[in-house]
Structure 1
Amino acid sequence: MPEMAAFVAKLRAAFGDSVDEAVTRGKNGEPTFYARENGRTVGTPPADHHNAWRASEDVRDLHYCDGCDGSCIGTAIRCSQRMTQAMQGQQKR
């Protein structure tokens, strides 16, 4: 679950230990954290499915690219193109 792990790491950086507590509680059966990515699940699903964020077609079929920061999501630029542009920009410096 590389995309979810990266997302949780960003949440942890922003919100601190409360994120770890929510994940742990979700793993222990409380509906405080639930994630599903590529057929794998972690945590406890909510009793109602109305309070959930669902990946739309825009992000559902994305794959993890090493070194990607997600900035290509929702743009017409493919991850490989963005990485190439970033490397070219670094070489010009």
Structure 2
Amino acid sequence: MPKVAAWVSSLREAFGGAVIDDAIRRGRAGEPTFFASENGRTVGTPAPATTNAWIVDRAVADRHFCAGCDGSCVGTGQRCPAR
């Protein structure tokens, strides 16, 4: 795992060896603190799946306040008084 080793080395330089070594140790012991995979080999514990992740759809992304609106009408089902 040469790429992972180089990456871990750079993390040790940036954050200190004790912090990174602790994260790796805990990941190998079953905590989701460290996980790496390279060429079919893995080390550590992957993070749990994000089954309850919040996803923004197009309808939410396209919402905006009208010019001169204070936003008090948002979510009330009423039409914006500034329109």
> Is TM > 0.5 for Structure 1 vs Structure 2?
yes
Q: Distance in 2 between matches of 1:2 and 1:32?
A: 20
TM-score norm. by structure 2 comes to 0.56
How many angstroms does 1:48 deviate by? 1.9
Listed as ranges, the gaps of 5+ residues in structure 2 are 52-83
**Structure 1 consecutive aligned stretches of length 4 or more whose deviation exceeds 4 Å:** none
Q: Which has the larger radius of gyration?
A: 2
C-alpha distance 49-6 of structure 1, shift in aligned 2 (>3 A): farther
Q: Distance in 2 between matches of 1:48 and 1:14?
A: 28
Higher relative helix content: 1
Amino acid in the other structure paired with 1:12: R
Please name the residue that 2:62 is paired with.
none
Please name the residue that 1:5 is paired with.
5
Specify the SS of the correspondent of 2:36: strand
Amino acid in the other structure paired with 2:6: A
Q: How many positions carry a matched residue from both structures? A: 50
Listed as ranges, the gaps of 5+ residues in structure 1 are 51-93
TM-score norm. by structure 1 comes to 0.51
Report % sequence identity: 58
Alignment of 1:3-42 (within 5 A): 3-16=3-16, 17-42=18-43
Q: Distance in 2 between matches of 1:48 and 1:33?
A: 15
RMSD: 1.5
How many angstroms does 1:49 deviate by? 5.3
